[in-house]
Chain A
């Protein structure tokens, strides 16, 4: 595939990607019945006659799901349609108990939105074709039994948003960054946990290539089963190369649905356009058209939390942080909340921001799953970090000692003051004690002192290092500097 790769890298092709993001809404109950929508119960425990599709049952809309959907529409500057309709998408599969999925087809509740995201310091905007609500299917388990497939309908009827972008993404990295922003948004909005490894958020990518400068779209392949940021990037990279190879060989891309096989790192054909299901969509007669009036929208707007872009701006103005640091801190609601909890405990936002963007994020990334920054697994609380910075600010410990204390805090989860006391790490500010060390260092290094006095200023750092070493790092660096200067220059 090297020819294809080089042609692509030389910019011969332009990649065109549109994403369909499926996002489970974190409502207490399912979209059309009262069953719990929670993840993780025993098989088929969250079911009732309605989501089991017993004869004679009827759906009743969960209005909380609509509240959540409206929030998503508002956060993406979408146009909300006052009237939208439910439709049936018909197909047979054992984990689809009614043999149809209730979704929105011709009249979705919202259209024409947009999402901005940051990639390597550049801001991108992608337009959204539409967002619609639908119910999830259940889960089929094919490998648990030799001759039977098992069906778990706990997920059947859980509310989903399908967020469809215009084909305006140009690389796997852009697609992945867009997806990260989308996840950040739904978490900010409190409408989804956005956990990709539990399937709460997943996407399909429509990928096509065209000659750079072309205005029409190439034939696309739809890649299914992208359930991690890494999958998105890898699958798209693979698909670009596959398509470029075909096109450069004079072939034509077949419009088809392809499945990402993460184990083998390839996409493979699932079904062609000819084999595509005929879903026989038609308006759902068991539900009235959905009417979202202005009052409903305004109520949702008033309940809207601060969104990432606004929060980033506020971090710059009220905490005096850089745009970059603010962006990092507000990329996830959890992180921004963590930061603000720390600031509430100790008012030194800049120092806290530095600690978080360097040390805390490193720890959080190590403990979370792939691509997930998991703050719930941190062994210490924001108040602990605040206490640590306070110890530096009031001169109890030095910045250097603070690193040691931080490591011990990560290991033990103990309060930093307790660690300092236990380990005897309190900074030595007693000038008499420091002077004694200075004297002993000067006395033990007469040759170096002579060199220094003859003009080798750089040796000053050596003396500081020796004093700090003697004090086991506990001497107050400012005092050490001053006393050494007095002693050597005096």
Chain B
């Protein structure tokens, strides 16, 4: 590989540490690549070029001090990355791809952002997404369309669409997204990159604009599993500002994966409920081939069952919308955000601000969530959904008595055409059918590329782990990657 923007994080990190390259060179390569490719893919809502150059120069000074007593570099020092526009970035506009926040400039950094800054990562900019992370295609952004770098008439997946495209198009070496029902794994699968949604509570949600608080989780994307591991270990761990963050030690994931990860003796569970009618033939073939490869590498394959899978989508759309309807109440035009300013009285101000500020999908979910929490409906919907959620979690607990990792397709099909599902919300919701249960159960899950379909579009292999066992997921993914070439195939940005 000759182009700097095509380097993996681990390779760039090695070259930065050895001073073969500078962060400024690496950052300029990414900025140049953004300039060339952005008109085609539309990943970025804002490119923070000036900030990136300044951070790159800072990183180079830190790297120059390597080996001295003042050395404070990390594996991410000088690595250019980008962030979904859901993370609060001090003094950098943060919109959540919504009109209601189109001029919102945060006064503080999300914990994740603060940790990345401290580690010396370089921020290239803020990435497009579905408005308030509600969507599976990135088409619900109020700002712009983002296209799949593999085939520009396809969606990149959502909601963290920009986070996947910027990695797939080599605009950034890595990125962060959030995953509430599949919003990291689905776009990772559609764009052929590695993406991980950690255990609920693994990464702080402080400063991450909330969609559904009991499901939202922050995670990284990168072209390789090892790159994603380096990003994850930088941001994971207890945060006193997030009461739901888990106080458990964070392993050195990249170090633990090492150079020769093995899956010998690993029991991989295959849930029959995830290989059913409606699963695209190319997807099924590629995923089964990947599982076969893992078996060749020494893993044992066991069949498991997750009997409540069929209720996951319905459960999810009750729990997530209920929480969202409450979380989005604060966008009322009073303290910040959009407000027309000619309104007649309080009700009118609320009505006008929210009518103009929110897009159709966000309104649909607010209404749905308000309904399921209403007096007289709470027991039939929300309360019942919480009970089903417990059953889904129990399904996984029982399955994990027989296996260490569960392997499934990430999505039933590859990236669909832009505009093909926008008129049919239910069909759109079904894109997440294979990823949603993982969020309901609070488990770690990841997606890695495992092939291309007949149209040349990437296929994702989903790996699901036990609570806090991200390491086994990463090790399995890395072992698979080491035995194949899928992560090295690049998108060509063609129509």
Q: For the complex, what is the distance from the CA of A287 to the CA of B213, rounded to whole Å?
A: 10
Q: For the complex, what is the distance from the CA of A98 to the CA of B328, rounded to whole Å?
A: 8
* Chain A residues, Cβ within 8 Å of B480: none
Q: How far is the CB of A273 from chain B (nearest CB, A)?
A: 12
Pick out which of these stretches binds chain B: A55-63, A239-247, A364-372, A407-415.
Answer: A55-63
Asked whether, in the complex, the Cβ of B373 is within 8 Å of the Cβ of A52, the reply is no
A47 to chain B: closest residue by CB? B335
* Chain A residues, Cβ within 8 Å of B326: 88, 90, 99-100, 280, 282
* Chain A residues, Cβ within 8 Å of B208: 56
Q: Please, what's the 1-or-0 string for A102-132, where 1 marks a CB less than 8 Å from any CB in chain B?
A: 0000000000000000000000000000000
Asked whether, in the complex, the Cβ of B332 is within 8 Å of the Cβ of A55, the reply is no
Asked whether, in the complex, the Cβ of B335 is within 8 Å of the Cβ of A97, the reply is yes
Check if B360 is an interface residue, CB within 8 A of chain A. Answer: no
Check if A151 is an interface residue, CB within 8 A of chain B. Answer: yes
Pick out which of these stretches binds chain A: B241-249, B281-289, B487-495.
Answer: B241-249
Pick out which of these stretches binds chain A: B103-111, B137-145, B261-269.
Answer: B103-111
The answer to whether A98 and B329 touch (CB under 8 A), given A56-B210, A57-B207, A151-B334, is yes
Asked whether, in the complex, the Cβ of A285 is within 8 Å of the Cβ of B206, the reply is no
Asked whether, in the complex, the Cβ of A56 is within 8 Å of the Cβ of B322, the reply is no
Check if B323 is an interface residue, CB within 8 A of chain A. Answer: yes
Instruction: Mark out the residues of chain B between 221 and 253 whose CB falls within 8 Å of any chain A CB in the assembled complex.
Output: 240-244
Check if A320 is an interface residue, CB within 8 A of chain B. Answer: no
Complex partner residue of B373 from A56, A61, A97, A282, CB under 8 angstroms = A282
Check if A53 is an interface residue, CB within 8 A of chain B. Answer: yes
Instruction: Mark out the residues of chain B between 318 and 346 whose CB falls within 8 Å of any chain A CB in the assembled complex.
Output: 322-323, 325-326, 329-330, 332, 334-336, 346
* Chain B residues, Cβ within 8 Å of A149: 346
Q: Interface residue count for A (Cβ, 8 Å)?
A: 29
Q: Please, what's the 1-or-0 string for A261-297, where 1 marks a CB less than 8 Å from any CB in chain B?
A: 0000000000000000010111001111000000000
Asked whether, in the complex, the Cβ of B332 is within 8 Å of the Cβ of A58, the reply is no
Asked whether, in the complex, the Cβ of B214 is within 8 Å of the Cβ of A52, the reply is no
Q: How far is the CB of A142 from chain B (nearest CB, A)?
A: 11
Q: How far is the CB of B393 from chain A (nearest CB, A)?
A: 15
* Chain A residues, Cβ within 8 Å of B213: 285-286
The answer to whether A90 and B96 touch (CB under 8 A), given A53-B335, A60-B243, is no
Check if B23 is an interface residue, CB within 8 A of chain A. Answer: no
Q: Please, what's the 1-or-0 string for A21-59, where 1 marks a CB less than 8 Å from any CB in chain B?
A: 000000000000000000000000000010011111111
Check if B26 is an interface residue, CB within 8 A of chain A. Answer: no
Q: For the complex, what is the distance from the CA of A55 to the CA of B209, rounded to whole Å?
A: 5
Q: For the complex, what is the distance from the CA of A92 to the CA of B366, rounded to whole Å?
A: 14
B328 to chain A: closest residue by CB? A99
The answer to whether A54 and B107 touch (CB under 8 A), given A94-B334, A280-B374, is yes
Q: How far is the CB of B408 from chain A (nearest CB, A)?
A: 26
Asked whether, in the complex, the Cβ of B373 is within 8 Å of the Cβ of A90, the reply is yes
Complex partner residue of A100 from B96, B214, B329, B346, CB under 8 angstroms = B329
Check if B116 is an interface residue, CB within 8 A of chain A. Answer: no
Q: How far is the CB of B371 from chain A (nearest CB, A)?
A: 10
Q: How far is the CB of B293 from chain A (nearest CB, A)?
A: 39
* Chain A residues, Cβ within 8 Å of B323: 282, 285
* Chain A residues, Cβ within 8 Å of B242: 58
Asked whether, in the complex, the Cβ of B110 is within 8 Å of the Cβ of A99, the reply is no
The answer to whether A58 and B241 touch (CB under 8 A), given A97-B330, A100-B326, A285-B323, is yes
B345 to chain A: closest residue by CB? A149
Q: For the complex, what is the distance from the CA of A88 to the CA of B322, rounded to whole Å?
A: 11
Instruction: Mark out the residues of chain B between 337 and 362 whose CB falls within 8 Å of any chain A CB in the assembled complex.
Output: 346, 350
Q: How far is the CB of B101 from chain A (nearest CB, A)?
A: 7
Q: For the complex, what is the distance from the CA of A136 to the CA of B170, rounded to whole Å?
A: 49
* Chain B residues, Cβ within 8 Å of A285: 212-214, 244, 323
Asked whether, in the complex, the Cβ of A282 is within 8 Å of the Cβ of B334, the reply is no
Q: How far is the CB of A31 from chain B (nearest CB, A)?
A: 13
Which of A59, A90, A99, A278 lies at the interface centre, i.e. has the most chain B CB atoms within 10 A of its CB?
A99
A33 to chain B: closest residue by CB? B241
Asked whether, in the complex, the Cβ of A94 is within 8 Å of the Cβ of B332, the reply is yes
Asked whether, in the complex, the Cβ of B243 is within 8 Å of the Cβ of A278, the reply is no
Asked whether, in the complex, the Cβ of B329 is within 8 Å of the Cβ of A282, the reply is no
Asked whether, in the complex, the Cβ of A288 is within 8 Å of the Cβ of B96, the reply is no
Asked whether, in the complex, the Cβ of B209 is within 8 Å of the Cβ of A280, the reply is no
Asked whether, in the complex, the Cβ of A278 is within 8 Å of the Cβ of B334, the reply is no
Check if B94 is an interface residue, CB within 8 A of chain A. Answer: yes
28 contacts between A and B (CB under 8 A): A54-B106, A56-B205, A56-B206, A56-B208, A57-B207, A58-B241, A60-B241, A60-B243, A90-B325, A90-B329, A92-B329, A92-B332, A94-B332, A97-B334, A99-B326, A99-B330, A100-B329, A278-B374, A281-B378, A282-B326, A282-B373, A285-B212, A285-B213, A285-B323, A286-B210, A286-B243, A286-B244, A287-B244
Taking Cβ atoms with an 8 Å cutoff, the residues of A that contact B are 49, 52-61, 88, 90, 92, 94, 97-100, 149, 151, 278, 280-282, 285-288
User: Which 5 pairs of residues, A with B, have the shortest CB-CB distance?
Assistant: A99-B329, A280-B373, A285-B214, A285-B213, A56-B207
Taking Cβ atoms with an 8 Å cutoff, the residues of B that contact A are 87-88, 94, 96, 101, 104, 106-108, 110, 205-210, 212-214, 240-244, 322-323, 325-326, 329-330, 332, 334-336, 346, 350, 370, 373-375, 378, 382
